[in-house]
Structure 1
Amino acid sequence: MQANATNPDTPNPPRSPVVRDATLADFDAIARIYAHYVENALATFEEVAPGADEMRARHAAVVAAGLPYLVAVADGAVLGYAYATAYRSRSAYRHTIEDSVYIADGMNGRGIGMALLSELIARCEAGPWRQVIAVIGNSGNAGSIALHARLGFEHVGVLRQVGFKHGQWVDTVLMQRSLGERDARTRAASARG
């Protein structure tokens, strides 16, 4: 990738990255992307960054559950990743999933998250799931909140001070989106009154 003219350490993003299923070869990059958020941000409540082998094991569990795990790639570089997991382990939650989206440091605001989350939603709509939940660490995470809102997620709540990371109490924002045509009709009908 060529360097960004304003910051030689930041690569220029592609105009439209390719979103595809993650492969085992992607996990060194995925682990680096995630480590940034673990070590420097409040987007995840994990406090010790897992290595690539642990991230591969997590990927295997997602795929074994029949859920998507995607990467956005350009010029051979992984720019971000997204996946869905079961929302909760109790059986009555079996039609509800949770999404996660992480973008490489310096690549936010360039459409990569939109490409990943759009494809993740499309893949999940093709499955048996009815609802997707976004559990957004840090109520100040305006980028993630806006991304989810643009893709039809509704703000459904805030869990106040449920995490303690980097010396501060952190809220969690809950957003929810119905999946599938049947639920799109329900959303449209309720919007009309």
Structure 2
Amino acid sequence: MSILVRPSSDADLASITEIYAHAVMHGTASFEFAPPDRAEMARRRAALLDNGYPYLVAEREGEILGYAYAGPYRPRPAYRSTVEDSIYVAPAAHRLGIGRELLSRLITECMARDFRLMVAVIGDEESHGSIRLHASLGFEHVGVLKGIGYKHERWLATVLMQKSLGPGTAEPPTRPVP
């Protein structure tokens, strides 16, 4: 069965909300404590899309198995060519290559929009799958912020990885200053 990675639609929001809720409640990819409702997830998605960022889903036979998006790394204008990636996979779809499909397509979509650098901010040094996934797609490890968050009754680190996109920093950015 093939996986279709496509732009997300409003019809995907229930699945996206459910996948994210599980990640919030049981994982460390998000440092939120309470899962946002569907309306908040719709607002967040719309804000990204309205600002030209890609927001994708992975689908198999009509079932959403995961989603990914790129968003601003930081809000200041000098960061306009840098994006942060986010990838969430449904628990039943872990270890099926869904994350790789999503991240590969996300990279392609960001290069098409002339973003120059993608940053992965990975919650927890124990997120070996996410760290390996990013490394396998050319991300380099650039640092660890130790004890940056406290969730699930323990201190968590954040692993920072980055990947140049297109010409990277070899040329000035072409994205206009907002």
Pairing 1:1-193 to 2, within 5 Å after superposition: 15-180=1-166, 182-183=167-168
> TM-score w.r.t. structure 1 length?
0.86
Letter aligned with residue 161 of structure 1: G
SS in 2 for 1:135: strand
Task: Give 1:166 deviation, angstroms.
Answer: 1.0
Letter aligned with residue 155 of structure 1: H
- Percent of aligned pairs sharing the same letter: 51
**Misfit runs of 4+, over 6 Å:** none
Supply the distance in 2 between the matched residues of 1:30 and 1:74 (Cα, whole angstroms).
Answer: 14
Letter aligned with residue 11 of structure 2: A
Preserved contact between residue 116 and residue 169 of structure 2 (Cα < 8 Å):
no
Supply the distance in 2 between the matched residues of 1:40 and 1:141 (Cα, whole angstroms).
Answer: 13
Supply the distance in 2 between the matched residues of 1:91 and 1:122 (Cα, whole angstroms).
Answer: 23
Unmatched 5+ stretches in structure 1: 1-14, 187-193
The structure having more radius of gyration, on CA atoms, is: 1
Task: Give 1:52 deviation, angstroms.
Answer: 1.2
Unmatched 5+ stretches in structure 2: 172-178
Q: Superposition RMSD on alpha carbons, in Å?
A: 1.4
Task: Give 1:185 deviation, angstroms.
Answer: 8.6
Task: Give 1:51 deviation, angstroms.
Answer: 1.1
Supply the distance in 1 between the matched residues of 2:165 and 2:2 (Cα, whole angstroms).
Answer: 25
> TM-score w.r.t. structure 2 length?
0.93
Letter aligned with residue 165 of structure 1: K
Task: Give 1:111 deviation, angstroms.
Answer: 0.8
Task: Give 1:53 deviation, angstroms.
Answer: 1.1
Preserved contact between residue 118 and residue 162 of structure 2 (Cα < 8 Å):
yes
